[in-house]
Amino acid sequence: MLKLWLKKYIICYTNIFIAKIIQKVMKALFLDRDGVINVYKERITSPTQIELVANSAEAIKLLNENNFKTIIITNQPQIAMGLCTIQDVETIHSFLLQLLSERNARIDGLYYCPHKPNQKIPEYSIKCECRKPKPGMILQAQKDFKISDLSSCFMIGDTLADIETGKNAGCKTILVKTGLGGEYSSDHIIPNYITNDLYEAVTRIILKNYD
């Protein structure tokens, strides 16, 4: 009887220990889309406008190989503005994911906000909790991926709204100079790091932070 109890205790303790290890090693990175992964072009409404930033796929592949959950967080107000539909954006995202897949790079999660107040499409012309710089998309991803500690995660973007989003969620932040990042200027929204592009952010900062 004692041996049976001891065996159950050991199994229970082992399962708890393994769960804690898994929770501890969960690493997540949140990426803006336009200007970070693909070349920034104002109001992308078609897959034909998608062009990868140099070495962005290689950077994401490195994240995959080092067991990071790699998650896109992007505002897509074109939907509220009536410039494209939800289906159009889904098609754009499918094309982007295909381009990355062809280079052996994988995105684990993709969240986008279709909202913007006072626009053409009433159902999307609202104030919401998901539009950056609010942290709603990151918080939803935290729930979906069971991320216990956002302070150990990074948000990488090319705009101050991205940096503010990361800070609002409690993440560390990296501003890249691709896209709109070269226009960085603020006295109160300060990124933890600034790099030339996503590849430099991953190789110089992200991977070294987790050595």
Catalytic residue positions, numbered? 32, 34
Residue 150 near residue 140, CB atoms below 8 Å: no
DSSP 67: T
Residue 198 near residue 55, CB atoms below 8 Å: yes
Q: Say if strands 154-157 and 172-176 run parallel, antiparallel, or are unpaired.
A: parallel
Distance from C-alpha of 90 to C-alpha of 19, rounded to nearest angstrom: 34
For residue 194, give both structure tokens: 């600034």
Beta bridge partners of 156: 31, 174
Distance from C-alpha of 163 to C-alpha of 130, rounded to nearest angstrom: 15
Per-position DSSP letters for 6-41, written without gaps between them: HHHHHHHHHHHHHHHHHHHH-EEEEE-SBTTTB---
Which position has the token pair 């918080």?
A: 139
* Phi–psi pair at 198, nearest 5 degrees: -65, -40
Beta bridge partners of 173: 155
